[in-house]
Amino acid sequence: MLDIQNALKVFEKGTPSEHTALNHVSLHLDRGEFVTVIGSNGAGKSSLFNAICGVFLLNEGRILLDGKDITFEKEHRRALTIGRVFQDPMKGTAPHMTIEENLSLAYSRVMARPLSFSPSARQRALFRDRLSEFGMGLEDRMKTQVGLLSGGQRQAVTLLMCTIVPPRLLLLDEHTAALDPATAEKVMEITKKTVEKDHLTTLMITHNISASLTTGNRTLMMDSGEILFDFSGEQRRGMTVDGLMKLYSVNRHRVLDNDRMLLM
């Protein structure tokens, strides 16, 4: 479904600031997999997402989605089949537009129809039905400007904008990290239901090691632009946070120094 082959990305190559963000990364995802991605700051997690989305082009390697080579496809073209929810609730929506206007715009763009801010009666019923599944009362606030919503409500709207037409691939870029614990838990509950409902192939970056081992069906750990570990099945079910930390220390000959990960 998703194939990343020998992906290399070097920033400022040939200068004193040269930095290898992705170091010959190869990854295959089957359709319907829900994969969590962990790693300290600078491990390459966001660079991996940016490469998939076309934010930058690779120095070497290929990216294929459903068998189609998208390595050199423009970012706006990839966005028609790849959904991405960012950490910042302010991203992904137009704050001065209403909920239904944002959803209508996302729906018409993905369906390759003329962009529309005004949904039809059928589309409005669809939006209302899908919003009601979130249990946040958003279906009764469709005329409310998105900028007036809480962070959690905005993330829920952004998630729906990305999935109202199921994407081939959903990328969740620490999408609950900026929320308070209770709201983050609610958004994660919505996320899991949405992914399960539409059988979405999903990659989710998280700093919560414990959650990474229990959410979805597979866990990747990145470090220095490489995929260090890839756990699934019985190996993943038997893995603990302490066990993962020990494996990291043995492999890298150092302790994981990211307090944000260790304290979660």
Q: Is the confidence at residue 217, as pLDDT, over 60?
A: yes
pLDDT, tens digit, 9 for 90 and up, residues 55-101: 999 999 999 999 999 999 999 999 999 999 999 998 989 999 999 99
Q: Could you tell me if residue 151 is inside a domain?
A: no
Q: What is the pLDDT of residue 127?
A: 96
- pTM of this structure: 0.94
The answer to whether residues 184 and 191 touch, using CB atoms and an 8 Å cutoff, is no
Q: Could you tell me if residue 124 is inside a domain?
A: no
- Domain of residue 194 covers 2-93+168-262
Q: Could you tell me if residue 18 is inside a domain?
A: yes
Kindly report the backbone phi and psi dihedral angles of residue 18, in degrees, each rounded to the nearest multiple of 5, phi listed first. Answer: -55, 135
Q: Could you tell me if residue 43 is inside a domain?
A: yes
The one-letter code for the residue type at 181 is P
14 φ/ψ sector (left φ>0, alpha ψ -120 to 50, else beta)? left
CA distance 91 to 172: 13
Buried b (16+ CB within 10 A) or exposed e, 96-110: ebbbbbbbbbbbbbb
- pLDDT bucket at 262, cuts 50 / 70 / 90: very low
Q: What is the pLDDT of residue 257?
A: 63
Counting the structural domains of the chain, the total is: 1
The answer to whether residues 7 and 53 touch, using CB atoms and an 8 Å cutoff, is no
Q: What is the pLDDT of residue 114?
A: 63
CA distance 233 to 215: 13
Report which of residues 116 and 24 the model is more confident about. 24
Q: Is the confidence at residue 264, as pLDDT, over 70?
A: no
Contacts within 8 Å (CB) and 24+ apart, 243-252 = 244/209, 244/213, 248/221, 248/223, 252/223, 252/228
CATH number (domain holding residue 25): 3.40.50.300
The 8-class DSSP code of residue 105 comes to H
Helix or strand (DSSP H, E) at 64: strand 60-65
Q: Could you tell me if residue 36 is inside a domain?
A: yes
Q: Could you tell me if residue 251 is inside a domain?
A: yes
CA distance 220 to 204: 10
Percent of the chain with pLDDT over 90: 87
Q: What is the pLDDT of residue 108?
A: 87
pLDDT, tens digit, 9 for 90 and up, residues 124-171: 999 999 999 999 999 999 999 999 999 999 999 999 999 999 999 999
DSSP strand pairing (34-38 vs 218-223): parallel
Q: Is the confidence at residue 261, as pLDDT, over 70?
A: no
Report which of residues 247 and 109 the model is more confident about. 247
